[in-house]
Amino acid sequence: MPTRKKDDRLSLTLIEEAILHALMFRERYGLEIMNAIAQASKGEKTIGFSSLYPTLRKLEKRGFVTSRWGDEAPEETTGARRRYYNITGSGLEAVKKKQEFLQTLQSLKPAF
């Protein structure tokens, strides 16, 4: 029996999905992503730097986000250059596939 390739787009974690949603409408840097997630969840879901950046690297490796260094002068930002993240077409497709899958699950009826 042939093995089926797992649909990588459906295997988003909650944190990955939250980050992709935060990037859906505009490019953001790390602190903006964290604030967007906290604001959207009314403070119930927060993400720290120790989770954010490894997750962003994984999403970038999977082709769901791209990144670039900002052009701001260091004195404009607090001395550190910002890295901006943007969702890709593959990232948008992953969010769409995951949402469709969850909607299908919600429509299941009990078997009894």
SS3 labels along the chain: CCCCCCCHHHCCCHHHHHHHHHCCCCCEEHHHHHHHHHHHCCCCCCCCHHHHHHHHHHHHHCCCEEEEECCCCHHHHCCCCCEEEEECHHHHHHHHHHHHHHHHHHCCCCCC
Percent of the chain scoring above 90 in pLDDT:
62
CATH 1.10.3720.10 fits 10-105, yes or no: no
pTM summary value: 0.82
Domain borders along the chain are 10-105
Q: Which of 18-22, 38-42, 54-58, 82-86 has the lowest mean pLDDT?
A: 38-42
Per-residue model confidence as pLDDT tens digits over 95-105:
999 999 888 88
